[in-house]
Amino acid sequence: MKLQKGISLETIAKKLNCDFVGDPNHLVLGINEIHRVEVGDLVFVDHPKYYEKALKSKASTIIINQSVDCPEGKALLISEHPFDDFNQLIHWLSPSKAFKVANASEASIHPEAILYPNVTIGDNVRIGKSTVIYPGVVILNNTVIGENVIIGPNTVIGSNAFYYKKKEHGFDRLLTCGNVVLEDNVELGAGCTIDAGVTASTVIGYGSKLDNQVHVGHDTIIGKHCLIAANVGIAGCVNIEDHVTLWGQVGCASDVTIGEKAVILAQSGISKSLPGNITYFGSPAKNIKLVYREMAALRRLPEILENL
């Protein structure tokens, strides 16, 4: 989430009631989670395992629960509870706003868009020319929808990110202040759920087509002209490059990249990044040529055992 105006390090430290390391006038230009952080952003880290990743990231400001050497050009906010303080900043800078009417007054809807009955639209939503939205669709705050988009019945766009921190009393949610962007010529089937980015955007690229009951997690970026079949589940912070095909019931773990023109066959499980221009199958997904060789060898196993 980018801020309309930079906020000084000292101002944020006073807001959070914590110490800081760095120039008091150092500016925070945005807040972001670690997978989508950019120069000028503030990020949080609360586990030694991830200190180095956060400190070496593009983030210019880090909320951290340990006194460490501050990298040159960056600033630190020393907090006992970085997760909670990050949530406090989101609540301060982007307070949640409930909408009270089915088609919120702050939405921008092109006059040539077609909205069927029982469509619910949040605030600050933009809907482009010739887009068709079928009954029962829920479009939550700050969603951006391009031109010639088709959204099937009962699809939900902009759900809260599934991002929690485990604590003694249970799980605390990281507040969501990101959004969803559907580029031109995207199609979503019936009953899809597209989660908003935690602090950035979940993006479905130009011309991509999603079948019924597809789930896309927070901050995932799907490229152009991708084809995703029914019951696919994609976790958060996944990068799917252009012209990728995911067939039915594929499951994908978080924070992986699927290369351009990769094809993932039905019911495969993706646990790590996969290079493009290859067809994959299995769980974990492997090059289909290797899987065929393994299957052929397995068929010969009874014969081999008989001859021992």
Catalytic residue among 26, 215, 218, 243: 218
Q: How far apart are CA 102 and CA 90, in angstroms?
A: 26
- Tell me, yes or no, if 243 is annotated catalytic: no
Among 223, 142, 151, 144, residue whose Cα is nearest residue 192: 151
The domains of the chain, with CATH numbers, are 2-93 (3.40.1390.10), 108-291 (2.160.10.10)
Instruction: For the chain, 308 residues long, give each residue's pLDDT as a single digit of tens.
Output: 899 899 999 999 999 999 999 999 999 999 998 989 999 999 999 999 999 999 999 999 999 999 999 999 999 999 999 999 999 999 999 887 666 556 666 789 999 999 999 999 998 999 999 999 999 999 999 999 999 999 999 999 999 999 999 988 899 999 999 999 999 999 999 999 999 999 999 999 999 999 999 999 999 999 999 999 999 999 999 999 999 999 999 999 999 999 999 999 999 999 999 999 999 999 999 999 999 998 888 888 887 777 77
Cis peptide, bond prior to residue 284, ω within 30 of zero = yes
Q: What is the pTM of this model?
A: 0.90
